[in-house]
Structure 1
């Protein structure tokens, strides 16, 4: 398991300590979750941008979709 060091100012440190206390987390759990969420958000944004670039503009209504699937 890797160990990482994070340097933050006292004000930010106090804010983080209060947050993790309220949410019942350890600093490690909070940091891991926050970093992984950031990575996931950026990946999701990249996928969205790619989908938008490939969008052909064709749309179908809800009714058409339901009919297509026999619902």
Structure 2
């Protein structure tokens, strides 16, 4: 497993430690979860933006749920 060093102020460290303690997780776990969540949010936003751009260019086809069910024979 790799290690990452992070420089923060004493005030930020206290805030992070208090939040980790409140959630009964280690500081390392708090930072790992927070970073992964941020990355997931950014990825979702990029995918959504690409979809909306394709939709604006008329490159996306939409179907109602009734049409999808009929297509699937349900």
TM-score between both structures, scaled by the size of structure 1 = 0.77
How many residue pairs are counted as aligned between the two chains? 71
1:7-46 equivalences under 5 Å are: 7-46=7-46
> Which ranges in structure 1 are unaligned for 5 or more consecutive residues?
none
> Which ranges in structure 2 are unaligned for 5 or more consecutive residues?
none
Partner of 2:48: 48
Give 1:28 deviation, angstroms.
1.0
Aligned-residue CA RMSD (Å): 2.0
TM-score between both structures, scaled by the size of structure 2 = 0.74
